[in-house]
A and B are shown apart, each in its own frame.
Chain A
Amino acid sequence: MQIYLPIAEISVDPFVIVTLGAAVGFLSGMFGVGGGFLMTPLLIFYGVPPAVAVGTEASQIVASSVSGVLAHLRRKTVDLLMGGFLIAGGGVGAVIGIAIFRYFREIGQIELFISIAYVVFLGAIGALMLMESMRALLRDPGVKRSRRKHRSAEWMAAMPFAMRFRRSGLYISPIPPMVLGFIAGVLAAIMGVGGGFIMVPAMLYILNMPTNVVVGTSLFQIIFVTAIATVLHAAANQTVDILLALLLLSGGVIGAQLGAKVGRRLRGEQLRALLALIVLAVCARLFFGLALPPEALFVVDPAP
């Protein structure tokens, strides 16, 4: 059976798409990540036009983050004030990101641009995660790890407009969160990712936010920023395929539940090493796609 996607303008096997959604959902449930950075390249490998893959993935991330955000809001593990500043930065970032996206689309290099962006980000993050988890795995389990000290970030308190973020227990300027949000917004718009894989470590290690509010606040920010990116992609590029998003989502929710169950049985370091390997594999596939001699020496595209 084939379903014709109205915006991607290709026929796809809905079973394959739902399975793809479930597989990525499984990984994201298992590792506690959004999965956009895996889904977008996989959609491109399957033949979805890269611009549509990015725009659609933004809307799918909105959907897959809702239930998580609601759970965190109920548990009061969202720093709404911090989230507000992250979103303010993220909104501006998304606008800039869409402008960059549109520019590369107009000069006909968007496919190349997305691929290179993914190779760079997946390569860097995969390598960092692999090194970190290897170090953790090889460490003698008898030796106690020194706990990270909760330093007050003095340089951030010294910046203008410093204020108290009650739920995070921080007294810092809103400028660093806005810059972080901005970066996540640009990434959401040009890569179709939520940016959790950058935001979570940055909130932990740069902003020094306590672990219990980091995931909830990050999800809260992601949902708004990807929603903004979705509307902007739809308005500027007409590249959001709601049918594709719903197919991915229907597989994704089931996969995420199963993944979360499996994830609870594995050690954190093992999980991260595994995720790092998957990230590096996708990165390598994209890189070889760019570096190996192409099958055809010409690219033929519809032009305006």
Chain B
Amino acid sequence: MKIILSMLAAFSLAGAAHAADISIALTDDRVEVDADFSGAAVTLFGAVTGAENPAATLDIIAIVTGPPGNFSVRPLEKRGLIWLPGKPAMIENAPRFYASTATQPIQEIAPLPDQAKFELGVDNIRAVDLYADTDSEHPFNAAFLDALESRGQYMDRVGGVSFIKGALFTVDLELPANTPVGDYDIAVYLYRDGMLIDHDSAALKVNKVGLERRIFDLAHRRPVLYGLLCVAVSLLAGWIAGLAFRKS
């Protein structure tokens, strides 16, 4: 809350700017994924200065972009009795998470060149534009987007932006249980009548913590030791279980 209050104070001083400005801050700039992580809600606070009645005249688009990753997309082909995955197409450096939240459908807020430039909306993620030269509606692109949307890792959402007190607004961002860990980028764009007025960005870290993180780190950094530990734990657990039932 401190941040918001200080922002409020700052903005009320900067009264007479011509164009509106936007500033954002996160309630929490890190999300911790532990053993009972079932998703997280992150609230983004923002303030618009230099605009009258912002709730009625301005549109806001917030974009959350996760860490990049590579993906393979393989078509399934029927060979004899069964369906086999065929030759893969690679999608490189696509965000492993992408969510847009806006006051209206993005098409009604931002002009096409802006949508492409700022990657506004799932359909405008550049890395996914396989075969960009030939056909933008390529089935591999659509299949990739469908798959990530059905996993809840890509989404476009209208709503979730609420103006609370004149210049202040909040954006509710939902991170699902399968949110990939890594560095996230949050960008917020302010539009009025199809014109970009201002934008701001913030960073968010999604980290594994606790026992869960120790297990993951050990398994990846000292895999042989981890394997031996797994065997030791299994032997011990099996032995204890055997003892417990022999006595009863």
- A and B pair up: yes
Residues on A lying within 8 angstroms of B by beta carbon are 1-4, 6-7, 9-11, 59-60, 62-68, 70-71, 108-109, 112, 116, 227, 230-236, 238, 240, 242-243, 245-246, 249, 253, 257, 290-291, 293-294, 296-304
Using Cβ atoms and an 8 Å threshold, which residues of chain B touch A238? Answer: 219-220, 223
User: Could you say which of B23-31, B108-116, B231-239 contacts chain A?
Assistant: B231-239
The docked-state distance in angstroms from the alpha carbon of A147 to that of B38 is 59
Min C-beta distance of A235 to chain B, whole Å: 5
Using Cβ atoms and an 8 Å threshold, which residues of chain A touch B38? Answer: 2, 4, 11
| B241, A10: Cβ atoms closer than 8 Å | no
**11 residue pairs from A and B, CB less than 8 Å apart:** A2-B37, A2-B177, A4-B35, A4-B212, A66-B239, A66-B242, A67-B241, A108-B72, A240-B219, A291-B81, A303-B72
The docked-state distance in angstroms from the alpha carbon of A299 to that of B143 is 8
Using Cβ atoms and an 8 Å threshold, which residues of chain A touch B10? Answer: none
The docked-state distance in angstroms from the alpha carbon of A116 to that of B33 is 35
| A297, B234: Cβ atoms closer than 8 Å | no
| B208, A6: Cβ atoms closer than 8 Å | yes
Q: Is B69 part of the contact surface with A, judged by Cβ < 8 Å?
A: yes
Using Cβ atoms and an 8 Å threshold, which residues of chain B touch A227? Answer: 231, 234-235
| A64, B238: Cβ atoms closer than 8 Å | yes
| B36, A4: Cβ atoms closer than 8 Å | yes
Chain B: CB-nearest residue to A298: B143
Q: Is B90 part of the contact surface with A, judged by Cβ < 8 Å?
A: yes
- Given A6-B208, A112-B84, A230-B231, also A253-B219 (CB < 8 A): no
Chain A: CB-nearest residue to B146: A296
The docked-state distance in angstroms from the alpha carbon of A64 to that of B240 is 11
Using Cβ atoms and an 8 Å threshold, which residues of chain B touch A303? Answer: 70-72, 88, 90
| A301, B36: Cβ atoms closer than 8 Å | no
Interface residues of B in 211-248 (CB under 8 A from A): 211-213, 215-216, 219-220, 223-224, 226-231, 233-235, 237-239, 241-246
Known: A6-B216, A236-B223, A300-B147. 14 other contacts (CB 8 A): A2-B36, A10-B178, A11-B38, A63-B238, A66-B235, A66-B242, A68-B242, A234-B223, A235-B223, A242-B230, A249-B234, A253-B238, A297-B75, A303-B72
| A243, B231: Cβ atoms closer than 8 Å | no
The docked-state distance in angstroms from the alpha carbon of A222 to that of B233 is 17
Among candidates B83, B90, B229, residue contacting A242 with C-beta atoms closer than 8 Å: B229
Among candidates A3, A7, A236, A253, residue contacting B216 with C-beta atoms closer than 8 Å: A7
| A290, B83: Cβ atoms closer than 8 Å | yes
Most interface-central of B178, B211, B219, B227 (chain A CB within 10 A): B227
Chain A interface, >50% SS class = helix
The docked-state distance in angstroms from the alpha carbon of A235 to that of B224 is 5
The docked-state distance in angstroms from the alpha carbon of A110 to that of B215 is 24
The docked-state distance in angstroms from the alpha carbon of A162 to that of B220 is 44
| A298, B76: Cβ atoms closer than 8 Å | yes
| A301, B71: Cβ atoms closer than 8 Å | yes
| B88, A108: Cβ atoms closer than 8 Å | yes
Using Cβ atoms and an 8 Å threshold, which residues of chain B touch A299? Answer: 72-74, 76, 85
| A234, B237: Cβ atoms closer than 8 Å | no
Among candidates A11, A65, A293, residue contacting B83 with C-beta atoms closer than 8 Å: A293
Chain B: CB-nearest residue to A252: B241
Among candidates A11, A68, A112, residue contacting B85 with C-beta atoms closer than 8 Å: A112
Using Cβ atoms and an 8 Å threshold, which residues of chain B touch A62? Answer: 231, 234-235, 238
| B241, A253: Cβ atoms closer than 8 Å | yes
| B241, A63: Cβ atoms closer than 8 Å | yes
| B245, A253: Cβ atoms closer than 8 Å | yes
Q: Is B144 part of the contact surface with A, judged by Cβ < 8 Å?
A: yes
- Given A108-B72, A257-B245, A298-B76, also A230-B82 (CB < 8 A): no
Interface residues of B in 48-81 (CB under 8 A from A): 69-76, 81
| B226, A240: Cβ atoms closer than 8 Å | yes
Among candidates B139, B143, B211, B231, residue contacting A231 with C-beta atoms closer than 8 Å: B231
Q: Is B185 part of the contact surface with A, judged by Cβ < 8 Å?
A: no
| B242, A70: Cβ atoms closer than 8 Å | yes
Using Cβ atoms and an 8 Å threshold, which residues of chain A touch B90? Answer: 303
Min C-beta distance of B83 to chain A, whole Å: 6
- Given A108-B88, A233-B227, A304-B70, also A291-B239 (CB < 8 A): no
The docked-state distance in angstroms from the alpha carbon of A71 to that of B223 is 32
Q: Is B148 part of the contact surface with A, judged by Cβ < 8 Å?
A: yes
The docked-state distance in angstroms from the alpha carbon of A234 to that of B244 is 29
Using Cβ atoms and an 8 Å threshold, which residues of chain A touch B140? Answer: 298
Chain B: CB-nearest residue to A301: B72
| B85, A3: Cβ atoms closer than 8 Å | no
Using Cβ atoms and an 8 Å threshold, which residues of chain B touch A297? Answer: 75-76, 139, 143
- Given A7-B216, A62-B231, also A291-B245 (CB < 8 A): no
Q: Is B34 part of the contact surface with A, judged by Cβ < 8 Å?
A: yes
Using Cβ atoms and an 8 Å threshold, which residues of chain B touch A3? Answer: 35-36
| A302, B219: Cβ atoms closer than 8 Å | no
The docked-state distance in angstroms from the alpha carbon of A63 to that of B33 is 28
Most interface-central of B36, B83, B233, B237 (chain A CB within 10 A): B237
Using Cβ atoms and an 8 Å threshold, which residues of chain B touch A1? Answer: 36
